[in-house]
């Protein structure tokens, strides 16, 4: 989102998704939180990024090749943290979107995001 050219954007995007892939794999063993059975600072530091991914990062920062739902373990992890008492009341997605779309003043220096992947591949057979 803050890259000045396509090459820097592509590298940063690959690094971002590699990190999410690693975290997704870490949760694949069924543990509820990144370090085990108890939520720790690591979980809470990741939470804002995951909450903002679809709402703001996908559009404003052009991080749109994958959605949180494409990471079922991270999606569950995020929903589990969101369900903690008092947390939902602190998540103000309208404020998040306003900040990323208005306040940051991000310009598009000709960077083209890769996705999201079209849901039409492979195409369905046409009805007669």
What is the number of structural domains in the chain? 1
| Within a domain: 111 | no
Compute the distance between CA of residue 116 and CA of residue 128 in angstroms, rounded to an integer. 30
Domain that holds residue 12: 6-103
Is 121 within the bounds of a domain? no
Distance separating alpha carbons of residues 65 and 85, to the nearest angstrom: 32
Q: Is the model's pLDDT at 128 over the cut of 70?
A: no
- H or E element, residue 95: helix 93-98
* Burial tier of 9 (Cβ tally within 10 Å: 0-12, 13-18, 19+): buried
Please name the residues in contact with 36: beta carbons below 8 A apart, sequence gap of 6 or more. Answer: none
pTM exceeds cut of 0.85 = no
State the CATH number of the domain containing residue 42.
Answer: 1.20.1050.10
- Please check the confidence at residue 102 and state whether its pLDDT lies above 60: yes
pLDDT above 90: residue 68: yes
Q: What is the mean pLDDT of residues 108-121?
A: 55
Specify the pLDDT at position 96: 84
């Amino acid at each position: 989102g803050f890259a000045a050219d396509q090459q820097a954007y592509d590298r940063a995007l690959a690094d971002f998704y590699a990190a999410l892939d690693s975290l997704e794999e870490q949760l694949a063993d069924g543990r509820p939180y990144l370090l085990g059975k108890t939520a720790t600072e690591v979980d809470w530091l990741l939470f804002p990024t995951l909450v903002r991914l679809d709402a703001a990062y996908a559009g404003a920062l052009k991080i749109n090749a994958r959605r949180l739902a494409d990471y079922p373990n991270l999606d569950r992890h995020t929903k589990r943290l969101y369900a903690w008492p008092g947390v939902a009341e602190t998540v103000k997605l309208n404020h998040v979107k306003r900040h990323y779309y208005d306040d940051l003043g991000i310009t598009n220096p000709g960077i083209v995001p890769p996705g999201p992947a079209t849901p039409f591949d492979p195409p369905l057979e046409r009805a007669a």
